[in-house]
Structure 1
């Protein structure tokens, strides 16, 4: 059984056919009672956000909104760090995008290290962060840039790519060719346009490198799967020890696992003090500190806002740099994503209107353009199932 809330963040790839099936009228069980919130304020705010009434939701939260003129990431970290350790465990930090997430994570880590709660041993890693790109975007040369990494999880005979990681060395937009270098040092060309329009989007992943310093005691999350060792994407772990030849992590199941310097999973981890909305879907915490910044315009959306405030049971502190502009940004941007089928429908309807407008009309009588049949659209509100990481 699949559970989804169509008003939260939309699926771009695998989940989109399911969303289209719902729009076409597929029989659906409806669960319309949100059992997560326990405080009256959150119940009212979540109900208003669910109905798209952003202003009303913000009004319900007015006593819990903190408007700051300084660095909002630092303010969020400071508020979380000032909590007793037991309260920190009950309080999640939610942000509106990747950049804010990295800033909050760095600020929290700085505070913990300064207070001696993590460390003193540390190690700087080069980790790989996924570039959020659909399969169609991966077929476009402009998506790639030198310094990125293309990870191939299954042999691609059509492109003559074996399983492994490839450095992006050069992008030739004119010829539509990417120059890659494999782990063996061999160079080869790659044509993104030859990627099949259909297929598993997980087979090819585009990644960016970034430097990440971790301390003993740091809380991390995995950014890829290693099912054989029980390391699951988005699951949390802790840095138990750091040595010259690698580090030891304590997994969510309580096992200690040694990762040597050459272990590929050392490149697939990140700090986990703050989560963005896409990571937060399906999670629940008793309390939360949320950060929204007017500068992240594309990420200020009704869907992001809904996901953020519906993660919580009891209490929310919403930190914003400008309440009016954040509210306006959320209200103006529904955050919808469309599939190729939906775009085709829109373009086909536009062409039909243009064709109809060119037909001669009877004198004194306006001829209405023929309406194309549309798929019946239904809105299904359900409560996302909860999973722990």
Structure 2
């Protein structure tokens, strides 16, 4: 081999290497990187695992259908065990390179902890699973959007239902049962004021532990309070089902109600007849087996592929929350791309909260719009049991919380 030939071959090899590297860089530049922390272990693992499956299914469908304006989504999942310190450390490491355009969040404590740094330094578009009432403060949470109504909004919808349907001559008596957690206590102050405004009597405020074995004392307190309605809030499928069973054993006939994560179909199904006629506020269409709406039918097809998850025709709330978030992100990021805007937090939060009359192909049961960086819309579902089989229907139409 002559020296000239050797040099030519070396140059060709270097050129090929640089071309491949350039191609890889170009392809990477076309990717849209999401970082999504979920509690895959710990006390909320069941919810986190459902959320992860929802994200995986949604991103799979989006990428197979053009991604976002031809750009594929690449998501990195991170188990933070529902621990704020793990979430914060994971976030800072994930966004250090500056190419993450969206970060999830496993609840309000994480969002509260990371938002000051995110507002000043990272400026990454964020959402989370926890609909706490102060997340509507757009100065404290500049880059955060909430996919659904706050806990205060959810209880307000239940109060509106009570006022519209209560047949007694005196003021309706409501017992509010909540977990001793930040999100359990979240709507208390607001619902006290709203109850007074609407002429509703708060017959009892009963706090429980998030995880508790003997719930007898709580059930006795509820029986003695003689409520017309009992609202459960701030749980993840634990504690409150046992209270409901005891209430029925004690012949308490009060109407049982609950907020979003107390309205999980598989949890209510596990309670059985004691949960008959349960009413719950939900902000996504869970009746996937009945819907003819295009995106809901697509989701129904994905649910049938979910391994180790028996198909019931009803969707998991965390799973649907992931789909709804992914579809909203496609809309907002796509609009930013169309306008040739940089995909940073400032531009993306503007595009997100500018979304109007969006139903995501039926994921939301009515056209929704953002207000104070949240979506204050929902539906009240009724869960009934006959011959051991649960049926879920709309008890009140989709509406906006006022």
- Shorter-normalised TM-score: what interval? under 0.3
Specify which structure has the higher proportion of helix: 2
**Normalized against structure 1, the TM-score is what?**
0.25
Specify which structure has the higher proportion of strand: 1
**Normalized against structure 2, the TM-score is what?**
0.24
